[in-house]
Amino acid sequence: METARLKDNLAGISAAAEILKADGIVAVPTETVYGLAASAYSDTAISKVFAAKGRPQDNPLIVHISDFEMLSDVVSDFPKEARALAERFWPGPLTMVLPKGEKVADSVSRGLSTVAVRMPNNRVALDIIKAAGIPLAAPSANLSGSPSPTTADHVISDLDGKIDAVVMSGSCEVGLESTVVSLSTDPPRLLRPGFVTAEELKEILPNLVVDKAVLEELQKGEKAASPGMMYKHYSPKTEVFLVEAEAEEFISFVNSKENCAAICFSEEQGSITAPTLSLGAKDNNKNQAQNLFSLLRECDSLGVQTVFVHAPKKDGVGLAVYNRLIRAAGFKVIKL
């Protein structure tokens, strides 16, 4: 099929909405990453999303809403903690897992009794949901396994010819997928870290626990609280290692290796002899989050065998950056 390029203006937004109402699939910008949107009420539309991405069949989708009225069709219960989180963080990069409403197609949640829902903080996304008049299920608009798309060009390089349209908008300001928290477990559980941090969530959910899969590889037979955590993710073709070390140790380690490149902090670039890509300043985790997926896509153009990535600290937004990097590295961590 030919993938239409739509503008992010009124005409583009209504064209996108028409395609979505007719069970088509459209890549749309959000503040986190581009999403591949489809009607959350249509099994037909959802099956097209899984086919285009090559997504594992047991990995459920996030439903996106534009206003609180839509919520009653998506979830069957909205407890007071959820309300408090929504008041503070919506529209924004926080997804909540709650009991699923009946109208949502079973194929969205892949048979689970829960549904993941968020209200994105992006004008174009909100206008498309409103114009379509239906909640939109949308995973990240990349091929399964590759880094999530933070520009329309990333979407095109993965999905051109496989989807009905892409809304050509700017690059995503957050750069990492939303924080996912389950309120369907007791205690509530952080399933995927993101721009909304564990520390911020604990102000409303003091008994929040961080799921084991956030920082560790699940062993065979272990059940994932969030199926998406099980899969190989964000992987360049080049072999990636995550390196936990102080700046000096990291620099001398990389300088002792051959046929490699480094993804490092901007302060370290001048001291490394191999080619480098800068993740951003060491203390600026938000900027690292914005840069991360573009850098992972760039790795394969460096023509080296191995990329060593200097690991950020695991607090604040750093936990989310670390979580994506350890997956990109296939859990290969070198501790110096």
Q: Segment contacting Mg ion (CB under 5 A): 72-80, 139-147, 259-267, 286-294?
A: 139-147
Question: CB under 5 to 8 A by kind: which of ligand TXA, Mg ion, none does 63 bind?
Answer: none
Nearer to ligand TXA, 59 or 238 (CB): 59
Matching residue, tokens 């003091």: 206
- Residue 327 near residue 233, CB atoms below 8 Å: yes
Distance CA(232)–CA(293), nearest Å, equals 15
Interface with ligand TXA, residue 191, by CB under 6 A: yes
- Candidates 13, 17, 85, 97: give the one binding ligand TXA (CB under 6 A): 97
Interface with ligand TXA, residue 92, by CB under 6 A: no
Residue ranges with strand state E in the chain: 4-7, 26-28, 35-39, 62-64, 94-99, 114-118, 136-137, 165-168, 179-182, 189-192, 209-210, 239-244, 260-265, 276-280, 306-310, 333-335
Interface with ligand TXA, residue 121, by CB under 6 A: no
User: Collapsing DSSP states into helix, strand and coil, what is residue 159?
Assistant: helix
User: Collapsing DSSP states into helix, strand and coil, what is residue 107?
Assistant: helix
**In angstroms, what is the minimal distance from the CB of 203 to ligand TXA?**
21
User: Collapsing DSSP states into helix, strand and coil, what is residue 165?
Assistant: strand
Question: CB under 5 to 8 A by kind: which of Mg ion, ligand TXA, none does 59 bind?
Answer: ligand TXA
Tally of CB atoms within 10 A around 221: 5
The tokens describing 192, both together, are 């995927």
Task: State how beta strands 114-118 and 62-64 pair.
Answer: parallel
Q: Segment contacting ligand TXA (CB under 6 A): 60-68, 73-81, 295-303, 319-327?
A: 60-68
Interface with Mg ion, residue 140, by CB under 5 A: yes
Nearest residue to 43 (alpha-carbon basis) of 58, 23, 21: 23
- Residue 258 near residue 300, CB atoms below 8 Å: no
> Contacts with ligand TXA: how many residues (CB under 6 A)?
29
Interface with Mg ion, residue 95, by CB under 5 A: no
Distance CA(226)–CA(191), nearest Å, equals 6
- Candidates 139, 147, 188, 312: give the one binding ligand TXA (CB under 6 A): 139
**In angstroms, what is the minimal distance from the CB of 314 to ligand TXA?**
19
Q: Which of residues 227-286 bind ligand TXA (CB under 6 A)?
A: 227-229
Which distant-in-sequence residues (6+ apart) come within 8 Å of 237 by Cβ?
Answer: 299, 300
Nearer to ligand TXA, 28 or 264 (CB): 28
- Residue 62 near residue 116, CB atoms below 8 Å: yes
Question: CB under 5 to 8 A by kind: which of Mg ion, ligand TXA, none does 311 bind?
Answer: none
Q: Which of residues 21-50 bind ligand TXA (CB under 6 A)?
A: 30, 32-33, 35
**In angstroms, what is the minimal distance from the CB of 279 to ligand TXA?**
20
Q: Segment contacting ligand TXA (CB under 6 A): 14-22, 39-47, 137-145, 154-162?
A: 137-145
Nearer to Mg ion, 140 or 276 (CB): 140
Q: Segment contacting ligand TXA (CB under 6 A): 220-228, 234-242, 245-253, 272-280?
A: 220-228
The tokens describing 156, both together, are 């095109």
Positions that interact with ligand TXA (CB under 6 A): 30, 32-33, 35, 59-62, 93, 95, 97, 109, 112, 114-116, 120, 138-140, 177-178, 180, 191-192, 226-229
Using CB under 5 A, list all residues that contact Mg ion.
140
